[in-house]
Structure 1
Amino acid sequence: MSTPSSAPAPIPFIDLAAQRTRLGPKVDEVVLDVLQSCRFINGPQVGELEEKLAAFAGSRFAVSCSSGTDALALILMAWELKPGDAVFCPAFTFCATAEVVPWVGATPVFVDVKADTFNMDPESLELAIAKAQELGLNPKVVIPVDLFGQPADYDALLPIAEKHGLKVLCDTAQGFGGTWNNKRTGSIGHATATSFFPAKPLGCYGDGGAIFTDDEELAKVLKSLREHGQGVDRYQNVRIGMTARLDTVQAAVLLEKLAIFEEEIAARERIARRYNEALADVAEVPAVDSRAASVWAQYTLKLPAGVRDELAQKLGAEGVPTAVYYRAPMHHQPAYREFPTAAERLPVAEDLCAQVISLPMHAYLDEATQDRIIAAVRRALGK
């Protein structure tokens, strides 16, 4: 009797265990230090992390917080956004970018993205500003997203913001560590928010985030807001705030991860280049602007709509995981359908949702495993 062949071993989409193996003993040690100190909130590691994050990003101040979503919200709160204000968000992004806008009573206005980089389209932003004014809204803030690790086109977006008097809140939840014209994300715009969700290029062991700014007064307000709007001490409340601190354990973990982050960014770049070289003849591979360096939070192909879903099914059968970011643009999501858009349709964002598919990407993807993924993709596409 013949024995049925075993199914191929599944490949992790993001292999957090590989990094854990590398850092395990050191991370265990620093976490134990926090446990023994019992300084679980606002321990010394939090301040040390903020200093090192600011130095890494090239920003004067880094304010740590409880998540990337809270980072975005805290900035809008500090800028005192209110009903009637318009905030411009790309339609092709994770929901958190726009989610925080109604929290403060403002209105998100959705902007189309570019077909090559998937980042905010400057021409669509101009249309969105005009639409907001037509609706009687007050244009206040634009939130470019550094999608999949690549910084947005700040050379085009910053002058538009300046012309219209908009604050620029850079959402680099996926792009922290990337550069635009050799400037790190975190040192561009009026303020930057990032996330340390475990799957991010720089991730902690739970939720976490940070805000970057050169504005000292803004940094002071942000620190107050994340601590219930406190004043001279925790029992004086000078503004309406929230609980949005980064806990000490996560700060300790991030300090160890930040120490090897440059090496991991280089590894991600090497892996992305191997993918591009091997797949450029069978799929539309990611396009990186010549002025940018991506941190490769995701490696995302673009394929015709029907081909994308068939590829995912075939790869899954071979133990190769895939993901789709995102299956619906923001303005088609049930919770956001009533908010304004730059035009009646946002065609690029709408089309991308049927075309994109992401392959496994992390700093510890070895060549043998990557070759297995590449071979499976080529087989599935008949090449």
Structure 2
Amino acid sequence: MQTPILLSTPHMSGREQVYVQEAFDTNWIAPLGANVTAMEEQIKAYTNANAVCVTSSGTAAIHLALRLLEVGVGDTVFCASFTFIASANPIKYMGADVVFIDSEPETWNMSPEALGRALQDAKERGQLPKAVIVVHLYGQSAKMEEIVAVCEQYGVPIIEDAAESLGSTYKGQQTGTFGDFGIYSFNGNKIITTSGGGALVAKDPAMIEKAVFLATQAREEAPHYQHEQVGYNYRMSNVSAGIGRGQMEVLDERVAARQNIYRYYERSLSNVEGITMMPELAGTVSNHWLTTITLDVEALNMSPYDVMEEMKAANIETRVLWKPLHLQPVFEGTTFYPHDTTQSAICEQLFKTGLCLPSGSNLTEVELERVSKELSRILVESPSIAV
């Protein structure tokens, strides 16, 4: 059997070991130290964010943002439906209710039209949400100009879930820096990794000071352990931040590699019927964290699951797109606003037709050729095309 080709694996540069060794040499293994401080400065410089706090995960960063916005029981938070569940789980941590917003077809991200209707309805009920969580899916920025405008109209803060989009830009500005808060993820499969980890960025540095306080168990200044608020163990370790420092140094290289992978697939699959590449909105630059496609399911007479199983048999990992959160059993009964009230939800259509292709920045051209040839073979030999 051929060597497995995986979806998105960590890609080390070798520099990471220098900073990890520094943590061991100085015996700073805890969630503070030179690596933590340096990585925060690197993120701040790269994204032009006002302030940064590195965390144990991207999920923890979202939780901290909601806590800083004083979300609680009886409150509502609007969230994109087409995303990983980590975008919405922290809303439930806070005891708040969630309203899900559909995607729009040009970016696959939150629909400004659906968001506008949802905010107007909420205003008429006298219960505007405490926050809107926007996601930049698979590295593609949402329509931030429209989303920021509608949120400002109603005075609602924005949390940008940029877990998948570090290095992506919208009209020249880094994703994650448009909202009141932005979050990044450094999970093992992301554009860069610290093994596990994340970051919270904010426009107001005072909010990041509070985030650091809450993320270190909300320990008060005192000669003993004094706690007046509930806190969390959410700070990144100095060892993990050492990995992050090395990864930040090659972030632009990793972005360029994934963009080249997207372009390779775009060229090699251009003549295969039934495939459409994920769009890239004008004025944006995607990091193409994952290259994703949609299939003409009816013409091919194949679902993404069928293709995924065929690729698996060839020892190639692919993955269907995110199942919309409003369809998840854990969120059964939640309110959902579609992009267009006259047709089926955009995110549901994408879920039924979409597939992620191997996209790791360490893939070789030989491996990319193998993926393209295998996918082409499967689709060309599909029951519909073969007839």
TM-score by length of 2: 0.91
State how far apart, in whole Å, the 2-side matches of 1:152 and 1:139 are. 20
- Deviation at residue 333 of structure 1 after TM alignment: 0.8
AA aligned to 2:198 is G
1:301 aligns with 2:293: yes
- Deviation at residue 135 of structure 1 after TM alignment: 5.7
1:46 matched residue in structure 2: 36
1:314 aligns with 2:303: no
Aligned to 1:93, what secondary structure does the other structure show?
Answer: coil
1:212 matched residue in structure 2: 201
Where does 1:339-378 land on structure 2 (aligned, <5 Å)? 339-342=334-337, 347-378=345-376
Structure 1 unaligned blocks of 5 or more: 1-6
2:94 matched residue in structure 1: 104
1:13 aligns with 2:3: no
1:286 matched residue in structure 2: 278
1:331 aligns with 2:326: yes
- Deviation at residue 14 of structure 1 after TM alignment: 2.1
- Deviation at residue 346 of structure 1 after TM alignment: 6.2
1:123 aligns with 2:123: no
Preserved CA contact (<8 Å) 2:214 2:231: yes
1:151 aligns with 2:141: yes
AA aligned to 1:124 is A
State, as a whole percentage, how many aligned pairs show the same letter: 27
- Deviation at residue 223 of structure 1 after TM alignment: 1.1
2:152 matched residue in structure 1: 162
1:276 aligns with 2:266: yes
Q: CA RMSD in A?
A: 1.9
Preserved CA contact (<8 Å) 2:69 2:130: no
Deviations 1:69-122 (A, max 9, x none): 000000110111122322111111000111111211221100000123210011
State how far apart, in whole Å, the 1-side matches of 2:19 and 2:78 are. 41
Aligned to 2:53, what secondary structure does the other structure show?
Answer: strand
Deviations 1:323-350 (A, max 9, x none): 1232x31011111112222258861111
Preserved CA contact (<8 Å) 2:77 2:99: yes
Preserved CA contact (<8 Å) 1:175 1:295: yes
TM-score by length of 1: 0.91
Deviations 1:31-75 (A, max 9, x none): 232223221121111111111110111111111111000000001
2:74 matched residue in structure 1: 84
- Deviation at residue 129 of structure 1 after TM alignment: 2.0
State how far apart, in whole Å, the 2-side matches of 1:196 and 1:330 are. 22
> Residue 221 of structure 2 is aligned with which of 220, 229, 232?
232
Aligned to 1:87, what secondary structure does the other structure show?
Answer: strand
Preserved CA contact (<8 Å) 1:84 1:137: no
Preserved CA contact (<8 Å) 1:45 1:248: yes
Preserved CA contact (<8 Å) 2:9 2:188: no
Structure 2 unaligned blocks of 5 or more: 382-387
Preserved CA contact (<8 Å) 2:220 2:228: yes
Aligned to 1:341, what secondary structure does the other structure show?
Answer: strand
For these two proteins, the number of residue pairs brought into alignment is 370
2:385 matched residue in structure 1: none
AA aligned to 1:211 is L
1:31 aligns with 2:26: no
